[in-house]
């Protein structure tokens, strides 16, 4: 099987030839090209070349031309701060007053040079790999994007104390998210990762989630013209599994803080499970320990299909070494062949 066939079989809750491996490496492409992160992300061509080198090196089953989360607020005119050894972050929030929300309008994808870098990267990768390797597009959910638009504390205040302004912001963000997702699909993305950490019970109570993030995800995903994978970016998922299934998504990114066997049992036949190696701890792993972690995860979650091995956050830290990433890949290729044997 090629990577595309392997993933599609897994999404059908059948066993492919091997457990699919999604190594979510974004910044490591800069290392391959000998560039700073600022220079690397300045060009779609750099990201394309970086992703092609990384998938060859690590034998991953997906291409991940995700630039950085703050790209979206940069597209709205927000500030982005670059660092030598970590992902670019949003700077000062561009919404300084709740009164600004009533006049807020989303960026136009086709006329926005920031977003077009990502569109161009997806299109170029699609032309090269065709239908042999899945390409993942990424959006920040309308419900989670305001953390960067407003700042975390002011956004929580908005949710609980300013319902009219909250609803207006959600309308604008949903319009942007749907257009942004569908533009990536049109460019050649196979599926869309819908990052929604604020919806995790790690961050917000379930009662509020049911009134907000759940409804927003359901409405938004319905209008995205392709498959989606909801990722709560290290946040817990078990308390809201039923609701995540009801959103219409196909895949769920899960946390290392929860029992993968419980998650797999709750999701099987309904959601493919993506996860859940601890990317932060990965920085301190030895090659032997990395193999042991992969082996255990395959044993717990791989039987029966419906499982893609990945990290638990959706982006592997820049500090994780090549040695560990190669060890993870080698372990998947060694232990992940179906049928899964008793180790």
Domains in the chain and their CATH numbers?
3-335 (3.20.20.210)
Extract the residue ranges of the chain whose pLDDT is less than 50: none
The H helix count followed by the E strand count for the chain is 15, 8
Q: Burial level of 70, CB count in 10 A (0-12/13-18/19+)?
A: buried
Residue 343: predicted pLDDT:
63
Q: What is the per-residue pLDDT for 341?
A: 78
DSSP for 53-80?
HHHHHH--S-B-----TTHHHHHTT--E
Q: Which residues pair with 252 in a beta bridge?
A: 230, 273
Q: Are 176 and 106 in contact (CB under 8 A)?
A: yes
* Per-residue exposure over 256-291, b if at least 16 CB sit within 10 Å of its own CB, e if not: bebebeebbebbbebbbbbbbbbbeebeebeeeebb
- Under a CB-based contact definition with an 8 Å cutoff, are residues 335 and 296 in contact? no
- Which position has the token pair 């926005």? 112
Measuring CA to CA, which residue among 253, 228, 249 is closest to residue 312? Answer: 253
- The torsion angles phi and psi of 303, rounded to 5 degrees, stand at -55, 135
Q: Is 312 exposed, middle or buried (CB count within 10 Å of its CB: 0-12, 13-18, 19+)?
A: buried
pTM more than 0.85: yes
* Cis-peptide into 267, omega within 30 deg: no
Neighbours of 147 (CB within 10 A): 21
H helices within the chain, ranges in order? 3-11, 28-33, 37-40, 44-58, 71-75, 113-129, 146-150, 152-161, 163-187, 206-211, 213-223, 241-246, 260-267, 287-301, 322-335
**Total number of residues shown for the chain:** 343
What confidence tens digit (pLDDT) does each residue in 245-296 have?
A: 999 999 999 999 999 999 999 999 999 999 999 999 999 999 999 999 999 9
Residue with tokens 């059948």: 14
């Amino acid at each position: 099987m090629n990577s595309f066939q392997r993933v599609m079989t897994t999404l059908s809750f059948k066993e492919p030839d091997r457990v699919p491996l999604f190594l979510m490496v974004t910044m490591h492409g800069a290392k391959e090209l000998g560039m700073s992160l600022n220079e690397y992300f300045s060009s779609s061509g750099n990201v394309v070349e970086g992703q092609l080198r990384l998938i060859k090196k690590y034998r991953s089953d997906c291409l991940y031309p995700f630039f950085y989360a703050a790209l979206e607020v940069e597209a709205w005119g927000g500030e982005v701060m670059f660092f030598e050894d970590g992902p670019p972050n949003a700077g000062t929030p561009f919404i300084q007053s709740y009164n600004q929300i009533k006049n807020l309008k989303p960026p136009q994808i086709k006329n926005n040079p920031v977003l077009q870098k990502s569109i161009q990267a997806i299109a170029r990768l699609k032309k090269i790999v065709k239908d042999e390797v899945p390409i993942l597009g990424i959006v920040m959910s309308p419900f989670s994007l305001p953390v960067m638009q407003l700042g975390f504390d002011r956004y929580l205040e908005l949710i609980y104390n300013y319902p009219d302004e909250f609803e207006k912001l959600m309308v604008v963000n949903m319009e942007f998210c749907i257009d942004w997702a569908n533009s990536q699909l049109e460019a050649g993305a196979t599926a869309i990762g819908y990052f929604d950490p604020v919806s995790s019970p790690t961050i917000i109570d379930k009662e509020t989630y049911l009134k907000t993030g759940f409804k927003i995800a359901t409405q938004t995903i319905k209008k995205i013209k392709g498959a989606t994978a909801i990722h709560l970016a290290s946040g817990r998922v078990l308390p809201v599994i039923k609701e995540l299934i009801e959103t219409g998504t196909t895949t769920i990114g899960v946390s290392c803080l929860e029992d993968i066997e419980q998650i797999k049992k709750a999701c099987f036949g309904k959601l493919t499970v993506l996860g859940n190696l601890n990317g932060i701890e990965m920085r301190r792993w030895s090659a032997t320990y990395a193999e042991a972690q992969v082996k255990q995860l395959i044993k717990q979650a791989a039987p029966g299909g419906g499982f893609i091995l990945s990290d638990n956050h959706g982006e592997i830290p820049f500090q994780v070494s090549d040695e560990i990433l190669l060890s993870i890949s080698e372990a998947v290729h060694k232990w992940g062949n179906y049928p899964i044997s008793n180790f």
